Amino acid sequence: MRPQPLLVIALLALSVAWAVLVFETMQSRAARQREMGTGKLGWREIAWPFPRDGWPAGRAFRCQSAACAQDSEIYLRAKLGFCNCDTGVADDDEVDRVADIDLINPHFTARAPGQAVRIAELGGRARSYDLESGEGAPHSAIGFALSHRCDLMVAVIKGSAVQPLLEQAAQQFLASQEVQRWMLSTVGSGK
């Protein structure tokens, strides 16, 4: 029995369309990686690891180099319209509530009072945490809650590196021009 010419053509067209889709997806991911400039800092973008909640998924990165606290991860996402338009991020309780630390581990303890931070045009607070771990190795995290007008950008870095190395890695990542450009355009101020 000979295959129908129309069926062969349809299968061939479907195969070509699939190949184009795969190629476009890979190119788009590579372009986003270049756009963020994270590869130069030792970071590689990974899939958003958290279940869906009331906010859109963000962007997640894993460090694969000693230069950025190897095996640490950083998560960024916007919470548009979620910030007090007048005061911004006012205190540590607000950082505890909004910075997504509970997505990483619901059993966290603040190490000390937070501190005011400014990254690009975003101002807010950062706070360090200890995360309970049944794995034996202690894990730490630093949560950032940054506001611009009525919008909020949250970032969390977590890892097993000592706190100063995590902080340095987070500051370097967040200070990169590409990441700042993405954060500002996401909260609407980069236009």
Token duo for residue 66: 């000693």
Give the closest residue to 76 by CA, choosing from 28, 13, 114, 119: 119
Average model confidence (pLDDT) for the chain? 82
Token duo for residue 7: 């069926």
Residue % of the chain over a pLDDT of 70: 78
**Residue 191 confidence (pLDDT):** 40
Token duo for residue 119: 């990254």
**Residue 137 confidence (pLDDT):** 72
The ranges assigned to domains in the chain are 1-36, 38-186
Each residue's pLDDT tens digit, 114-159 = 999 998 889 999 999 999 876 667 789 999 999 988 899 999 999 9
In whole angstroms, give the CA distance from residue 27 to residue 93. 41
State pTM to two decimals: 0.75
CATH number of 38-186: 3.40.1000.10
Listed in sequence order, the residues at least 6 apart from 166 whose beta carbon sits closer than 8 Å to its beta carbon are: 69, 72, 140, 141, 142, 157, 158, 159
In this predicted structure, the answer to whether residue 17 has a pLDDT above a threshold of 80 is no
